[in-house]
Amino acid sequence: MNKTESGLITGPVIGEQDETNSSNHAALTSINSPIDPDLPSNPTRSEKLRNKIPKPRAIHGRLHTFDAFHSRNYRFLWLTTAIFSSGFWLQQVVVGWLAYEITGSPLLTSIALGLDALPVLIGAPFGGLISDKYDKKILLFIIYAYQAVLMVGYSAVIATGNANIWNLFIFVFLMGISWVINDPARMSLLAVIVPKRNLINAFALNSMAFSVMRLIVPAAGGFALAIFGPGLLFIVEAILMFTAALTIMMIRLDKDSSVDNSDRSAEQLLQDLKSGIGYVFNQKTIIGLTCMTVIMVILIMPFVHGLMPVYAAEVFKVGPEGLGLLLSAAGLGSLIGTIILASFTQITRPGKVLFVMLGVLGALMAALAINNTYHVAMVLVMLLSGSMMSYFSISGATVQGILPDKLRGRVTGIYMMAWGLVPVGSLLAGSIANIAGPQLSTLFGSALIFVCLIASTYLFKDVWKYRLESDPKE
């Protein structure tokens, strides 16, 4: 715990690295010390406003699970996340089952579930730059409305009997284009409206919204899919996305809050993008966190969640209802993991925690691969998802805590490029599953995790050494 002069207990703030890493001390600037000389050195209005949010009174033994909810804007952002997550998880059930029903191919099913990440690999930095230059709330409204229109359109394709794997791929890819802006805008908006002392708590609670819907929606969606078919469920998804678009507009921000109103010419935009890239290359901790996220995205998500429809059909011999329950078990695990994480007031050595969690995830994957019992698989999927969601919350909060407001979008976009590699992992996992089955595919992914973990301990020492410190301004 860190105590202020008034006796209030504050949460962790991501600050500078250890003195042993003094060579990077200048690069690890605080949120009010941007690397770009053109950026303002004084606190922005958005920083002043979010730091006026009252700190919770210090109560001995009090849990800090819901501290971020002191912010009205954060409550609406959380609600928006919960609503759009409902649509996302319903889509995962429908797309996964529809792809496997059409093709019977583990490879094509895995690709269908991962193809929406491909645009992120190419366009995330540009999406991040757009979120720096324009109102993030308006951008998110447009994104959710766009997704709803796509869902209505593909529902019509299904209703006319024209659905096939190729137009399903096109639908998923077009959905992926929206993630190019959605993720950088949403993550940087969260960091703008929440005090820095509550970042890890806010990220964990945001993940909790995602996890709650992951717990409820897939199971309900699996049963609804068996009864009503995919066409009607796409309409339900569209309604959810329209609702998310309306909810995000309830957030109240200053007109210029966190928006870079400088020159928006093509030449200046290119220069701004270069400044974001230059910032990242001066931040060894961000480089390490991004590369470790690549490991997660390529070797864990596709080899576990990407193969869930195949596990359900081939290993456990259950239908869409069984698939929905597996995905809901994953949601329960994520929910429990994020509640536990949100209850911590501080994690002073997040890098060490991330390394340990990577090893735990590799071991859980191996256990899933050698298991043939459906109910045991549900427990393992719970543990995998809880660890995975906690990992992403800690990693994302660490990155956001380092960044100055005016660079949040573009640097977040660069960090989010790692998610664009999901199709690479999907192709690898699906190809091996096609030849050797899903279990050997997952076991192979587990072995690669441990190889990468050993390499990471040598390559990303800055992440291992990284230490959270209190911000004296808070």
Which pLDDT score, from 0 to 100, does residue 276 have?
80
- Which among 456, 287, 440, 293 is positioned nearest to 366, based on CA atoms? 440
In the prediction, which pLDDT does 24 show? 42
Distance separating alpha carbons of residues 64 and 1, to the nearest angstrom: 12
Residue 401 has pLDDT above 60, yes or no: yes
Task: Determine the 3-state secondary structure of 14 from DSSP.
Answer: strand
Q: Give the domains, in start order, of the chain with CATH numbers.
A: 15-30+71-251+263-465 (1.20.1250.20)
Which of these ranges, 358-362, 418-422, 456-460, has the smallest mean pLDDT?
418-422
Task: Assess contact for 183 and 166: CB atoms under 8 A.
Answer: no
Condensed to tens digits (0 to 9), the pLDDT of residues 181-219 reads 888 888 888 878 887 777 778 888 888 888 788 778 888
- pLDDT of 209: 85
Pick from 94-98, 202-206, 299-303, 337-341 the range whose average pLDDT is largest.
Answer: 94-98
Would you say the C-alpha torsion 393, 304, 119, 355 has a positive or negative sign? positive
Give the pLDDT score at 469: 62
**Residue 246 has what pLDDT?**
95
Q: What is the pLDDT of residue 48?
A: 52
CB neighbours of 229 closer than 8 A, spacing ≥ 6? 158
Q: Mean pLDDT of all residues in the chain?
A: 80
At residue 7, the pLDDT reads 35
Strand partners, 3: 9
142 pLDDT more than 70 = yes
Checking if the pLDDT of 126 tops 70, the result is: yes
The pLDDT value given to residue 27: 39
Amino acid letter for position 118: L
Closest CA to 381 of 250, 218, 236: 218
Binned at pLDDT 50, 70 and 90, residue 136 comes out as: confident
Residue 29, pLDDT > 50, answer: no
Residues 272/129, Cβ–Cβ less than 8 Å: yes
Q: How far apart are CA 368 and CA 379, in angstroms?
A: 9
pLDDT band at 439 (very low <50, low <70, confident <90, very high): very high
Nearest to 209 by CA among 383, 335, 69: 335
H/E stretch holding 2 reads strand 2-3
- Report how far apart, in Å, the C-alpha atoms of 283 and of each of 344, 399, 457 are: 26, 10, 17
- Look at 95 and 204; give whichever has higher pLDDT: 95
Q: Give the pLDDT confidence of 249-304 residue by residue, as tens digits.
A: 998 876 645 566 665 666 777 777 787 888 888 888 888 998 898 998 898 888 88
Confidence at residue 99, expressed as pLDDT on a 0 to 100 scale: 92
- Residue 250's pLDDT is 92
Q: Cα separation of 77 and 74, whole Å? A: 5
Please report the pLDDT score of residue 151 as a whole number: 95
Identify the residue with better confidence: 368 or 412.
Answer: 368
Give the per-residue pLDDT at 57: 45
| One-letter identity of residue 392 | F
Nearest to 323 by CA among 100, 13, 29, 63: 100
Q: Which residues contact 99 (CB under 8 A, 6 or more apart)?
A: 108, 109, 112, 113, 165, 168, 309
| Higher-pLDDT residue of 1, 110 | 110
pLDDT band for 338, please (50, 70, 90 cuts): confident
* Whole-number pLDDT of residue 377: 94
The count of residues in the chain is 474
Query: ∠ CA 172-174-175 to the nearest 5 degrees?
Result: 65
The string of pLDDT tens digits covering residues 225-264 is 988 889 999 999 999 999 999 999 998 876 645 566 665 6
In the predicted model, is pLDDT for residue 378 greater than 70? yes
Mean pLDDT, range 53-57, rounded to an integer: 48
- Poorest-pLDDT segment among 179-183, 379-383, 442-446: 179-183
- Split at pLDDT 50, 70, 90, the class of 8 is very low
Note the helical H segments in 403-460.
408-416, 422-436, 438-459
Q: Is 437 left (phi over 0), alpha (psi -120 to 50) or beta?
A: left
Confidence of residue 324 (pLDDT cuts 50, 70, 90): confident
Percent of the chain surpassing pLDDT 90: 28
3-class secondary structure, 219: helix
Going by C-beta distance under 8 Å and a sequence separation of 6 or more, which residues neighbour residue 39?
A: 404, 406, 407
Whether 59 shows a pLDDT value over 80: the answer reads: no
Percent of all residues in the chain with a pLDDT value above 70, rounded to a whole number: 81
